[in-house]
Amino acid sequence: MGKKRIVAKTEEELLKEKEKIEVAIKREVKPKAFQKVKEGRIYVFSSYNNTILTLADLRGNILAWTSAGRLGFKGTKKATPFAASRVAESIVQTAKKLGVETIEVLVKGIGAGRESAVRSLATRGLDIISIKDITPIPHNGCRPPKARRV
């Protein structure tokens, strides 16, 4: 193993490290423009395995996000409509804390939680301006497999 050496840092190195830490802390604290936002967008991503909701302002800056896995659902239970409605409840609570009143909903994916997440958002008291489906659609698809020779 060998001897362990303790390296004593100079005062200059300690000051540099302290400055780096202070800069990192300043970056983590969000500006006041993010704290009280009136309008926002909620992106609903629903796959076969999970449902993820993301709250963003109109510029696209992420304010909050949550998913079924984050709320404690595991395995196949993450992809259920019930889990999606719980995720929507959670994101609405966060949106109300941030002061968001009106939202645009953008839905992506083909999972089971799509419809229930949107319904749950509508019943929780946020004003929904529009609902858009932004699921990507393949125009020509991927290349088909070679013809089978028997």
Q: What CATH number should be reported for the domain holding residue 93?
A: 3.30.420.80
* pLDDT confidence of residue 10: 77
| Strands 62-67 and 51-56, sheet pairing | antiparallel
Q: What is the pLDDT of residue 17?
A: 77
- 88-107 as b/e: b if 16+ CB within 10 A: bbbbbebbeebebeebbbbb
Domain of residue 48: give its range: 35-133
What pLDDT sits at residue 32?
A: 52
Give me the pLDDT at residue 80, please.
95
CA–CA dist 25, 132 (Å, integer): 37
| Number of Cβ atoms within 10 Å of the Cβ of 52 | 24
**pLDDT tens, the chain, 150 aa long:** 667 776 777 788 878 777 777 776 666 555 554 557 899 999 999 999 999 999 999 999 999 999 999 999 999 999 999 999 999 999 999 999 999 999 999 999 999 999 999 999 999 989 999 999 999 988 888 899 999 998
The reply to whether 104 falls in a domain is yes
- Count structural domains, the chain: 1
In a domain, 28, yes or no: no
Distance CA(24)–CA(62), nearest Å, equals 18
pLDDT, residue 124, reads 92
Q: Does 21 map to a domain?
A: no
Q: Is residue 83 part of a domain?
A: yes
In a domain, 15, yes or no: no
| Residue 67 belongs to a domain | yes
